[in-house]
Amino acid sequence: MNKNTLSFLGVLSIVVVLLGLNYSFTPFGEIISEKLTNEEEVSEEKEQTKVIDAVDTIFNKFNDKDKVGQLISWPIVIEKDGKIDDNGLTQDVYLGLLSKKNVGFFTLFGDKISTNSAKSTIDKLHEYNGSVLLPWVAVDHEGGKVQRLDGEGFTRLASWNSICKLDQKITQRVLDQSAEELKEVGVNIVLAPMVDLGAPRGVLNNRLCSSNPDIITKQANLFINAFKQQGILSVLKHFPGIGSVKEDLHKEFAVGRVGIEDVFIYRTLLDLTPDLGVMISHIGVDNQFAQIPCSLSPDCVGELTNNYHQALVFTDALDMKAAYYVSESTTGAELKEQSLGDVTKRAILAGNNVLIYGPSVNVEQLSEVYDMLIREYNSDGNFKQKVDQSVRKIISYKLGLPIEKDEIQYKKLK
């Protein structure tokens, strides 16, 4: 473990009670609030102060490069021989380069990755960590074709659609086993479950659980709890719902309709477990945000964050074609072709906390994005504030602290 990390363990003991606040979507639902007694308000204020102090202790250790690095989930490809794809560099040089960027997250990619390969890779990433905080490791784990860790030593999951048809006791047993295996190798985040509403068809096919929202919420809740018991964060995807979309968002932009049943799924799951990850899709939302990917729209992302401020917000992969969509009505300077850096900047300004990239994004491309974000951080006050807010939330998650409302936790930034 990094020596600097050890010095902060004492800070964790000051937080005893995890706070949980439930909200519902607007404009689809009403926000319900409860009045606290004066005594409760005083107690809550003390706990909030402790949380702010703990987060500030870490935050104040970070420079501009550290803060930008914390938002990035760097793609790591594990090759068939179990070694890391080092982008044409030696492994030591490649990992040394990553350590200087103080990356906050890594996303593992590969085919039939074994427990030995996964553990050795994650151990290496920790060994080369240059930050006060260890990076968190994320992996796709829906089941079926979308399961990276399915090699020797791992339980191979059926497709999500098949899992949703199983008896709940069987589902629970399988998911508990899988969660234990991922914990053993050091995984912190599963990019699952997929809670998009719809019957299996088209591009998504058996990645879809069901067209019945009750079945989705019940099965997703089993999934969330199984991994939470092992200290692994689940990430719901793909907000606000892409079950109605026929197009492949990896290849093109699409507009879909989001109904009350889609909203019900997110409300139900986030009311039960407010401290979840949520992945934002690049879909346009019919009659609301049809001309812009939701992931790049402050209004669309705000539908989630304004009511469920505790959620850690992930982008879908920012190299997907749908993220580069520019409306035909756009004119002038805004019509220019967007770079990966441009899309990443817009995602941060929209309110995303963690930036995901696919396995095809190489070290040169992502290094350019990283350098660009540092320049923006030092030249744009609004961008700097968005980054700082995300960094504070990420620190809170990594320390296991409750997430406070923006006006409390981020009051020093305003």
Domain ranges of the chain: 3-32+44-413
Dihedral angle at the C-alpha atoms of 260, 263, 327, 349, nearest 10 degrees?
150
DSSP 244: T
pLDDT in tens, 192-228: 999 999 988 888 999 999 999 999 999 999 999 999 9
Give the end-to-end CA distance of the chain in Å, rounded to a whole number.
34
Q: What is the pLDDT of residue 13?
A: 40
Residue 84: strand, helix, or coil: strand
pLDDT along the chain (414 residues), means of 10: 45 36 35 44 56 86 96 96 90 92 96 96 94 95 95 96 94 97 98 94 91 96 97 97 93 94 96 97 92 96 96 98 83 67 98 98 97 98 98 96 56 31
For residue 168, count other CB atoms closer than 10 A to its CB: 11
- CA dihedral (401, 406, 410, 412) positive or negative: negative
Residue 354: strand, helix, or coil: strand
Q: What is the pLDDT of residue 329?
A: 62
Tokens encoding 233: 């964060």
Q: What is the pLDDT of residue 404?
A: 65
Q: What is the pLDDT of residue 412?
A: 34
Q: What is the pLDDT of residue 401?
A: 87
**Which CATH superfamily includes the segment(s) 3-32+44-413?**
Glycoside hydrolase, family 3, N-terminal domain (3.20.20.300)
Q: What is the pLDDT of residue 288?
A: 87
Q: What is the pLDDT of residue 45?
A: 58
Please give the Cα distance from 396 to 388 (Å, whole number): 12
Q: What is the pLDDT of residue 133?
A: 92
DSSP 89: S
Q: What is the pLDDT of residue 131?
A: 86
pTM: 0.86
Tokens encoding 256: 């879909």
Tokens encoding 200: 């299996």
Residue 153: strand, helix, or coil: coil
Q: Checking DSSP bridges between strand 277-280 and strand 284-285, what pairing results, if any? A: unpaired
Q: What is the pLDDT of residue 337?
A: 80
Looking up tokens 């914990």, which residue turns up? 183
Please give the Cα distance from 184 to 102 (Å, whole number): 24
The answer to whether 303 and 26 are in contact (CB under 8 A) is: yes
pLDDT in tens, 224-240: 999 999 999 999 999 99
Query: Whose CA is closest to 137, among 118, 155, 154, 157?
Result: 118
CA distances from residue 286 to 36, 155, 283, 321 in whole angstroms, order as listed = 39, 39, 9, 19
Q: What is the pLDDT of residue 53?
A: 84
Please give the Cα distance from 359 to 354 (Å, whole number): 16
